[in-house]
Amino acid sequence: MVQAVKRLLFLLPAFVLYTVFMVYPLLSALADSFWTWEGTARRGFAGAGNFTGLFTTFPLNRQLEPAFWHTVVFFLGTMVVQNTFGLLVAVLLVELPAARRFLRTVYTIPYLIGGLVVGYLWSLLLSPAFGPLNAGLHAAGLGSLARPWLGDPATALPVVILVNAWQYLGFPVLLFGAALAGLPPEYGEAARVDGAGARQRFFRVTLPLLLPSIGVVTILTFIGSMNTFELVYSLEGAQGNQPTGPGGATDVLGLIFYRVAFQEGGSNAIGLSSALAVLLFVFTFGVAVVANGLIRRRTT
């Protein structure tokens, strides 16, 4: 009994913090989504009115679908880059012990920097007026490749995806590195004895054993992509574009939520933004649970 009380006391601070900063905001948003608002004053019960209003109110009815697909593309692009290059760097960490500390530091530091800072730094690097990227292309005689990277609809979203993948590459590197270090060496040795080459050992022995870690990275990347905001905001602004920019080509759901809550929601901004937050949470949570179940089934 005494031990149980001690365990509860140790868990209590974390439980209180999680309840105050996670559970309460979720329940509050759910409650607010069922009411109409006039500024910060609650008026009448709206039922599902705020949810249907997201798909019938201009300009939301024209912005939500493109923003949803931009977010899906954002997730897919980030996932491919992170799983591919993250695993590559993790393998290098294992195979090149002398460069381990250097590589781990180089790929982990961006992960520790805030998205707003990373976004503003890259907006300077990619500036068409004084950015070093375009200047380097001109100096190398490749001026035809220079362009307003964040202002061209064809390059804006891919550039944002690459910047996001670059920033968060350190997390899959650490996770894959830990997974590789924990693999039983007997499997690789047995495959080597059977005559398997390095490539065969990697794709037929190592990679299948890493599927749980790849699944974890994929699910966490999905959750982060569905909630992305600060990086896109700092690179492209609240409208999903620069002043001369790509006309909403980088609109994601996080930007839509911000605009509904603080710019375009009108007097019922709280109701509409809460409804959007609830839908986004239900979709993200549902997909994450299903994906986790599928991955566990495939790896057991």
User: Is residue 146 classed exposed, middle or buried when 0-12, 13-18 and 19+ CB atoms within 10 A define those classes?
Assistant: middle
Q: Is residue 14 part of a domain?
A: no
Angle (deg, nearest 10), helices 211-226 and 170-181: 160
Question: Left (φ > 0), alpha (ψ -120 to 50) or beta: where does 71 sit?
Answer: alpha
Q: What are phi and psi of 281, to 5 degrees?
A: -65, -45
Q: Is residue 33 part of a domain?
A: no
Q: Is residue 153 part of a domain?
A: yes
Q: What is the pLDDT of residues 64-102, one digit of tens each?
A: 999 999 999 999 999 999 999 989 888 888 877 777 777
Q: What are phi and psi of 45, to 5 degrees?
A: -70, 130
Q: Give the mean model confidence (pLDDT) for residues 264-289.
A: 91
Which of 27-31, 140-144, 181-185 is predicted most confidently?
Answer: 27-31
Supply the pLDDT for residue 240. Answer: 64
Q: Is residue 30 part of a domain?
A: no
CB distance 46 to 267 below 8 Å: no
The 3-state secondary structure of 1-25 reads CHHHHHHHHHHHHHHHHHHHHHHHH
Q: Is residue 120 part of a domain?
A: yes
Supply the pLDDT for residue 284. Answer: 95
CB distance 119 to 163 below 8 Å: yes
Supply the pLDDT for residue 242. Answer: 43
Supply the pLDDT for residue 103. Answer: 76
CATH code assigned at 110: 1.10.3720.10
Q: Is residue 69 part of a domain?
A: yes
Q: Is residue 261 part of a domain?
A: yes
**Full-model pTM:** 0.89
Q: Give the mean model confidence (pLDDT) for residues 167-196.
A: 83
Q: Give the mean model confidence (pLDDT) for residues 296-300.
A: 75
Supply the pLDDT for residue 244. Answer: 44
Q: Give the mean model confidence (pLDDT) for residues 48-57.
A: 89
Q: Give the mean model confidence (pLDDT) for residues 134-159.
A: 87
What's the structural domain count of the chain? 1
CA 54-57-59 angle, 5° bins: 100
**Structural domain for 245, as ranges:** 46-299
Supply the pLDDT for residue 248. Answer: 79
Supply the pLDDT for residue 76. Answer: 96
Supply the pLDDT for residue 247. Answer: 58
Q: Is residue 78 part of a domain?
A: yes
Q: What is the pLDDT of residues 221-269, one digit of tens each?
A: 999 999 999 999 998 887 765 444 455 788 999 999 999 988 877 788 8
Q: What is the pLDDT of residues 185-214, one digit of tens each?
A: 777 778 777 777 778 888 888 888 888 899
CB distance 108 to 90 below 8 Å: no
